[in-house]
Structure 1
């Protein structure tokens, strides 16, 4: 699988790149019913894809089909509906394996989302391998979900948490990262793509450097999985976490990939049904992978219907999606930079589909309200990256996050709306 960074050129200067002609955005948009609605009397321009993506009809229809044709608990029943639901649920796991190129199907753990996936590793790996005086490394651009679990672990185990800073462009200080790595490093947890800045981190190098001192790596791929073809074997990453709803699937389902050796060595995260092999009042033995980490009834509907989101992405091709989205990113960025008083926050050379910006002296919330009145959905605030906003000494940003169903015409509408907001507020 080809990494997105091979498709990219530096953000500056702005250059028009050829988009693959076979990516038909008009056809794609017809699959997303919500894109035909209006907001405040204006056609919806949905640019909050970093928070959650919209769902294609194929996923929506699959949800209805599950509740009308398959609804039953999984893994436990001998009756017909239970077997059908179990088979459909396990199809998702089987399709996730090649989607990220995992070595084994049982290395795929189905969770509630990225947050639970990270908490699972922090809790289980921490119990097994982290002790007083050990060190963990994260970065200054992490989502709170990849900060707080490690803080809690360090407080519980007496470990030390190190933070890799970012430069003014929003890129990792790799020299500092190298200097922090040592034989006491027990875990490196980094985001693949910054949800607040769009920075694509050099994850292959991050992993290789960590492995050189014997430390495993967890990558938060919540903002990468829908934009970048990920090969966990090529990256040699130890853990990968992402969410279904960020990749055109339902909410309430996520994925944790873990190398077999780590998952076998870690204790269970939760206890109860499904994660057990045998229970007596004297002793309980745990189930084999992946069920060891999947206690209780899962979100069956979401787990089954994630399959249809995977199929949808696979049919279009992640490389095609990446090329199309990056063209939109460059086009919109070049147009926004022509607005007086606008500044970008996050100008890394390698970027994914996020534009964070501010109008001088204007609170991002005020800009967001005006854009909403014009039918444009963006996100404002610190984007659950408050330490990163503190690093730039700002309260937050206006974030426009792009998906494969967005268009150049929508980028023009966004730019015109921001110009109008600048006229009103500056």
Structure 2
């Protein structure tokens, strides 16, 4: 505030101190370069009030300190309540900078984003008051007002809406603002997005959605697209632009397993999901026509030595989402043993039996477009081979693995069959 040249600094500071008590103002944060009006974003709940610094100048020698005091507080008390979205802040300096850059620097010192610069001339007898309202966020002059009553002004006149033009300009010229940043979301065309202010949104045919969202903030973005697994991603938005690439995996119905039973015998399985990504049925075959022997004094690779293969069938469920790194698989079913020479069911030892399966499925490449349908898996599969002669089954089926007493590690004769606790399936799984 600048008063006449012969005003003492102490008197001027007294005027400011009294004005502070009358105004009863609060403080908020300065907007970032990305600040936008709340209406433009459609996210009013994130908006915060504007902050306007009040700058007051008096033509040197035009009026007394007391008259300047009256005008200063009369204008301040009028404009302070003109807009609920605007907080008026008094200037910490007595002088008003001459340049726009100087006024902006002064405004930032008190976290203001706009100013009202009032210049008073002529004294109360021939009063002229000019006011400039400037928005630093939009970098434009909101309003320029001149009050020239043309008659001597008294204290009573000042209390009857004398400064209404300034009040109206502030009331109509400002809206709450939101600090905002740019976000680009990349995903499947048609993906519906929720969890973001102003939503819901939908990704267009180009596979990209560009948004302006409040900052700083953390959002949980949920993406749903027909035929793909729903995705929820955390999005942290600060001052810098963010690109969020959604990894959307298809809702797989089928899976093919290529495995080795106990790291010895090759096999394959086909799985069909009755409920995508969850409940399934499957069937497969494991053959002993080709295998690897870990028995001392026996060939490492065995081709055609055993004429046995096993057909298996079961049903179960997958625990965990398709996009998770680790999932669990449980199933139960049965198996049938058949020989190749001559072709038919294995009737000498056991036709087949029952099994349980519990395993894990690992997805190391879910972010790679080419490899994301591949999984590594391992299933522990204890079996019960049904037979009326468990001892004979062990003797005929494992002549090279048995101990001198006839027992075989990991196999146990029980009533009605032989329990095998050794079997572990491991391999690669292809989802489609």
More helix by share: 1
Based on CA coordinates, which of the two structures has the bigger radius of gyration? 2
Per the normalisation by structure 2, the TM-score is 0.16
User: Which structure dedicates a bigger proportion of its chain to strand?
Assistant: 2
What's the TM-score once normalised by structure 1's chain length?
A: 0.17
- RCO greater where, 1 or 2, for CA within 8 Å and sep 6 or more? 1
